[in-house]
Amino acid sequence: MSIPGADTAKPADPAGRSRPFFAADVLVPRGGFDVELSLTADRGEIIALLGPNGCGKSTTLRAISGLIAPQRAEVELAGRQLAGRQLTGTVTVPPHRRRIGLMGQDPLLFPHLSAIQNIEFGPRSQGVHRETARRTARDWLARLDLAGLADRLPAQLSGGQRQRVALARALAAEPDLLLLDEPLAAADVRTAGEIRQLLREHLRAAEQTTVVVTHEVLDAAVLADRVLVMNAGRIVDAGSTERMLTEPGTEFGAALAGLNLVLGAPSGTSTLRTQDGIELAGIAEQPLTGSAAAGVFPPSAVAVFPADPLHRAGAGSPRNVWAGRVLQAEQGPSAVRLRVSVNDSPIVLAADVTPAAVAALPIEPGADVRVEVKATQVRMFPR
């Protein structure tokens, strides 16, 4: 069977260098900022693309898939050039010939087709025989707990069921590149966990190259080999999933990982000083060098006490001690989450305190407190 878009194949790199399985360089003008970034992935690699709402994540996926026309685009996949320039002119392979599967936040199911017919559409669009496509669709319906809903139209399905049908349609097509935009957004907690595990097993077994946009740190932890953090149309941090969840380099990444992040310049082998002059001491696996360093610690490591202007950390104290001001207090599942500014600076820390501790604290916004963090609970690393 011929591969759609094969006529756009590029010759091997004349320098003999190994090309990545997938590479994209796109520029998409948007109001307020441009989305401009480069992505690469090896065959079978799963990349999580994280970032705040409106930073351009979905725009990136739509540009890669060909659903929008970027100002600039160079896209290569499995040895084929899908967008860019060649000696013969500009190459723009239409979306349906790119062998890219895109599942967006809106399932976009065909309203006149049943669940099984929607799933069949993926493999059928790749030239698979009808009977084979039907068997594949039935298999995915069973795997996603939809077997009893095969003949229902999208209007007869719940939002979560429609999302699972859309996911099955994308996976059944066996694309060279799978783009998932918040794939579990409409699923309840139990269903999301089941689908997340199924995705992990399938993507690994099929060596499916995937880019997944998500706001859930659990999606990145369970699925991804590598995490990219995006803000205002740019990649601002990138690394292995383990590194990004333990040593995040951005406030957004730290918030996803459930950590406090303090950035500054090294002022010792295991201390840093922020631009506002705040000192943070911690434990560094290697001496801090260079011009930038970071310290991370969980909200549970932050102790909050009533303000005591006479309290001072003694010489050689293993604690970081600062004056603080309560900005916000929220009840969590097992603790009260405080947001506290430090030394009248822009640094705001999250602190989890027990209800008993709250009884002894002034927690109304604007209340002055004392904040302490043991140095042994702060992980320091160079940036």
Beta bridge partners of 331: 336
Tell me what pLDDT residue 316 has.
45
Instruction: Supply the pLDDT for residue 383.
Output: 74
Neighbours of 108 (CB within 10 A): 14
The two structure tokens encoding residue 334: 């097992």
Q: What is the pLDDT of residue 7?
A: 37
Residue 169 confidence (pLDDT)? 92
pLDDT computed for residue 184 by the predictor: 85
Residue ranges, comma separated, of all CATH 2.40.50.100 domains in the chain are 259-382
Tell me the C-alpha distance between 142 and 146, whole Å: 6
- Does the reported pTM lie above 0.85? no
Strand order of the β-sheet with 348-353 is 302-306, 368-374, 319-331, 336-342, 348-353
Fold of 259-382: OB fold (Dihydrolipoamide Acetyltransferase, E2P) (2.40.50)
As a CATH number, domain 6-99+175-244 is: 3.40.50.300
> DSSP secondary-structure letter at 157?
S
The pLDDT score that the predictor gives to residue 312 is 56
Give the pLDDT confidence score for residue 9 in this predicted structure.
40
What is the phi-psi region of residue 257: left when phi exceeds 0, alpha when psi lies from -120 to 50, beta otherwise?
alpha
Please report which residue ranges of 89-240 form alpha helices under DSSP H.
Answer: 115-125, 130-143, 159-172, 189-205, 217-223
Of the candidates 320, 48, 16, the one whose C-alpha atom is nearest the C-alpha of residue 210 is 48
In degrees and rounded to multiples of 5, residue 285 shows phi and psi of: -65, -30
Q: Which residue has the tokens 């001690």?
A: 321
Mean pLDDT by runs of 10 across the 383 residues of the chain is: 36 57 94 92 95 91 92 94 79 90 88 95 87 94 92 92 90 94 82 86 94 88 91 91 84 84 89 91 86 90 82 58 91 85 90 84 86 91 81
**Is the Cβ–Cβ distance between 297 and 260 less than 8 Å?**
yes
Instruction: Please tell me the predicted confidence (pLDDT) of residue 185.
Output: 81
Q: Report the alpha-carbon distance of residue 255 to residue 273 in Å, rounded.
A: 21
**Helices 115-125, 159-172: inter-axial angle, 10-degree rounding:** 20
* Ranges for all domains in the chain classified under CATH 3.40.50.300: 6-99+175-244
Is the Cβ–Cβ distance between 339 and 382 less than 8 Å?
Answer: no
Residue 311: per-residue pLDDT: 56
Q: What is the pLDDT of residue 244?
A: 84
